[in-house]
Structure 1
């Protein structure tokens, strides 16, 4: 018996230990110790070729998934400014070509009206609506070799008469009588004494006024350039401002030549106004980009575009309304020149001038 007890007790002790190991706590089984189970690191993730392509496309201003159109356009505008520079260059060359062709055919780089080259202006009050293009065609047919311009006047919605301009020799009674006869015939009723008004412009007086207007414009342009150079004291930004103003004036002048729109004394004044409008936005851009220090160059350019384009768009809209509502040809001529010039200013300021400023800052290492 004692032998059996001593023989069985080691066996029972072994079973007791196995039972303890078998009934271990769940927490010990679910959370093995770090010494027995080592955690292996996650494999390194590499971008797929599609992701690499998207990242490269985004860096180059190309289309990528999830990139807003506004951001893609800005990336292209900022990254391809040297390529975009071809747009204002072509516009300026095209303008010079049109002006040169007009000079080769007429001997003048603008189409002058009678106030600049001499002639007569006849004002005829009417109590009925007439077809001014048909009247102009009939007078031109009766007086070949002369520049004839017929335009109506009155209040909105009601025509009160016509104004006929012709580049006749004011010292020739035969040419004046021929013009009055052609006007009377085209209107279908003879003139009565005192029923019309006539104004004469001598050719020498018109030529003198045109010469003095050109001198005044050149002096104004030179003074503007001097102020720009003195203020910025740098060559490329100053030249960029002046080139933008020149481009605006050339584009407006080419438009008038292309459609054979005559320019009078009011047109000269409109070109002087255009210099001021053009320099305004260019100086705004240059001051914000060069003089201010807050933000990056792109942020300062974007801020300038937001302000300058809004200002120009509102001016174009206001002048468009004025052109549509005005009955005075003088006001319409001024509005038309400013509309064309400011539209061209959007190209010459925000593509040409911005490109030159970016190039200048890249050379200075300030981008």
Structure 2
């Protein structure tokens, strides 16, 4: 009975799988020069964007004042405009929703008196509860150095592991460049969409190294140590698995971004989404193009 059930389902499953593979076959048959060139153009564009529009540093990296008002429901843009006018400095206001509470966070430049902000807020919202946090510019610079050091060390550690595992400079450099390009594109998009570079988004970039390298390692392992007869078959086998991995992660991050009421979590989720979208291109087009070029030159003992 189970045999007949499997027989009844197999033609439909095969047809769906065949249609999916046919769509992916377009990538598998693309010439390696095009596969390498297009992602490089996007990478150069991202570098140019960063040169002219680098993301703004958050208060935890540049110093400043944060005043949190609990139990306040207000239009953040209008409140920011009113406070900026009264204080004589540009402030930023974000609303938030927590468990059983709502409120706003007011971000002001270093040197601003937090008591003055609270005094102005109490005139409109006397029943609200307030807290303040002051980050000195010197501590901000320390956080900047530590964040950049963490990214550099994580990247170097990843590169060392990749080199030790594959012991092949071409495939290893392709993986490392793909990860670097993912991070560069993600940071460039942060600048475009006005997402600040903070300790939270630095943590997201660190997570991005692990998220993006695994798909590159999957592809490289499949192609260099392939059991399939052709490079195209090995690529299709890897891409079907890799797309499933990446799309499930993207789906989870998108849901997190939709339902989150925390600006910090929103920023982490969106940075990871930017990086994973870039990784689709850098893994399955750029890295695949480099490997196709490498294998076509009979480096693997004449197999192509």
After TM superposition, the score normalised by the length of structure 1 is 0.71
Q: 1:312·1:342 contact (CA, 8 Å) conserved in 2?
A: yes
Partner in structure 2 of residue 119 of structure 1: 64
- RMSD value, Cα: 2.5
Whether 2:44 is the aligned partner of 1:110: answer no
Q: How far is the alpha carbon of 1:333 from its aligned partner?
A: 1.3
CA distance in 1, matches of 2:24, 2:228: 23
Distance 1:191-1:211 versus aligned 2 partners, 3 A rule: farther
Partner in structure 1 of residue 37 of structure 2: 86
Partner in structure 1 of residue 110 of structure 2: 168
Q: How far is the alpha carbon of 1:91 from its aligned partner?
A: 1.2
Question: What are the ranges of 5 or more consecutive residues in structure 2 without an aligned counterpart?
Answer: 1-18
SS state at 2:197 partner: coil
CA distance in 2, matches of 1:316, 1:143: 42
CA distance in 2, matches of 1:250, 1:152: 29
Distance 1:83-1:143 versus aligned 2 partners, 3 A rule: farther
Between 1 and 2, higher relative CO (CA 8 Å, sep ≥ 6) is seen in 2
1:349 maps to which of 283, 294, 304: 283
CA distance in 1, matches of 2:48, 2:120: 37
Partner in structure 2 of residue 195 of structure 1: 129
Q: Deviations over 1:222-248 (max 9, x none)?
A: 011011111111111001100110111
Distance 1:274-1:120 versus aligned 2 partners, 3 A rule: same
Partner in structure 2 of residue 251 of structure 1: 185
Distance 1:72-1:264 versus aligned 2 partners, 3 A rule: closer
1:207-246 aligned within 5 A: 207-246=141-180
Distance 1:141-1:309 versus aligned 2 partners, 3 A rule: farther
SS state at 2:149 partner: helix
CA distance in 1, matches of 2:284, 2:124: 55
Q: Deviations over 1:189-245 (max 9, x none)?
A: 1556x8211011111011101101111110110011011111111111001100110
CA distance in 2, matches of 1:306, 1:72: 11
Q: Deviations over 1:280-303 (max 9, x none)?
A: 100011011112333321111101
Partner in structure 1 of residue 96 of structure 2: 153
Q: How far is the alpha carbon of 1:263 from its aligned partner?
A: 2.0
Question: What are the ranges of 5 or more consecutive residues in structure 1 without an aligned counterpart?
Answer: 1-67, 103-108
